[in-house]
Amino acid sequence: MTYPHIVAVGLVVLCLCCSIPVGGEEMAGTPPEVGHYAVKNKHGETCFLADLAATFRIRYVKTDNTTAAAEYALPGNCSVAYESTCPNRLDGENQAVLLLHVPWDWDFGLYLRFSREKLVMEHFWLAEAVVYYRQDPSLFPDAKFPNHFFSPFLNNLREMETRSGFFRRRSFLCESGLTVFNLTFPYFDEAPGVHPNADLIFDYIHVQPFDVRY
């Protein structure tokens, strides 16, 4: 399928194999909807493009101290938060952030941070991923910690690495297989030893966090 806003900025597609299994689990059911997102700079120019379909598989503690799992697809109509950023190459900036909120709750969403080399800037990669959520009782039945906010994360990543530069503008595309990241919340003051965790599962992802043609 072709997406008009990607064609308009002239992306060069780089396809990579990006299936990372976790514990032998497989996704079932209907794939999540692909959402189309753009970040604009202070001049109103598009500087970060992302098309993605993702699912959260979140494990949580119930009142009887057993563990349950809740699975939710990221809606295709998320809001791009104002904290999303794209760097200015001329200023030597090397971090780009996409922060998404789901429509029903701004305490539920996805944070992705991409990095690139500071000097040569010939490659970019996914450096950090965070799933953040509030344990709403309607979404997490019988949760031991209802309405608490959690943000399991995985940083120091170098995934989805893509060679790209000002004169060879490329994007990362994975449209076959699943990309799975296991994220962990390392501390919880009210319950020492409890480490909420979640799987972030991409069914489809196409991103250009740097050097978008305006």
Indicate the range of 7-16, 49-58, 138-147 predicted with least confidence: 7-16
Q: Which carries the bigger pLDDT value, residue 58 or residue 10?
A: 58
Q: Taking 80 as the threshold, does the pLDDT of residue 121 lie above it? A: no
Confidence of residue 213 (pLDDT cuts 50, 70, 90): confident
pTM: 0.83
What is the distance between the alpha carbons of residues 178 and 201, in angstroms, rounded to a whole number? 7
Q: Which CATH number fits domain 4-23+31-208: 2.30.30.60, 3.40.50.300, 2.40.160.110, 3.30.70.240?
A: 2.40.160.110
CB 181 within 8 A of CB 56: no
What pLDDT was estimated at residue 148? 92
Q: Taking 50 as the threshold, does the pLDDT of residue 28 lie above it? A: no
Q: Taking 50 as the threshold, does the pLDDT of residue 9 lie above it? A: no
Place of tokens 């909420």: 196
- Angle at CA of residue 98, ends 93 and 102, nearest 5°: 165
What is the distance between the alpha carbons of residues 59 and 22, in angstroms, rounded to a whole number? 14
Closest to 48 (Cα-Cα) out of 139, 126, 146: 126
Mean per-residue pLDDT, 113-141: 90
Please provide the average confidence, as pLDDT, over all residues in the chain.
81
What pLDDT was estimated at residue 5? 30
> Mapping DSSP to helix (H, G, I), strand (E, B) and coil, where does residue 88 land?
coil
Mean per-residue pLDDT, 108-134: 90
Q: Which carries the bigger pLDDT value, residue 29 or residue 175?
A: 175
